[in-house]
Chains A and B, each alone.
Chain A
């Protein structure tokens, strides 16, 4: 059974800082891994999808990496801005073609002006 853990649970940084959010999973047979952003009272917005054959994805100031052998993924945010304040969730697709997502509890990020 896949379990996903995110550390830290909360993070507060000054504007402009580069930061890393961590995600670990128990089953290295994970298929795809996806990072989402959730704003208070809102649904989830997909940020980056790393497919099974890939090791990283980049979008603007965001870079996500996936290391299946160690069971880890990281989300790197460069030059953080107050607008980046949100909860970041990582989720793994189960192996075997299942499209079910198994989520971590998320990291609540606050970027202070």
Chain B
């Protein structure tokens, strides 16, 4: 079974630039999540999609972060403009109903300089 695919693996940008991350979840997983993991911390949920609808985006900094999941499959997360404190690993995950089969991708490591 193919896992959750994410790209790119690494990205270095200057502050105030924009960046986008891509995620392809496991086939058949209706729920997709974006988590932010700052060094030394546990992951924190940014946004959760059920099919192509947003379930929870309460911790998404909406002035600079945006995400979409067109057609209920792939998703993109965008940051514009980036700040130094956005340096983190951005993890995408997907699951079946009720959180079963939670599977994480390898993440995108973002460094903002």
Contacts and interface: CB of A to CB of B under 8 A. Distances in A.
A79 B68 CA distance: 45
Give the interface size bracket for B toward A.
Answer: 20 to 34
Contacts, number: 57
Interface stretch (A14-22, A54-62, A63-71, A98-106): A98-106
Interface string B15-43: 00000000000000001010100001111
Give the interface size bracket for A toward B.
Answer: 20 to 34
B48 interface: yes
A73 interface: no
Given A44-B43, A89-B42, A100-B48, 10 more contacts: A4-B42, A31-B99, A36-B104, A43-B105, A44-B91, A44-B104, A93-B99, A99-B98, A103-B43, A105-B41
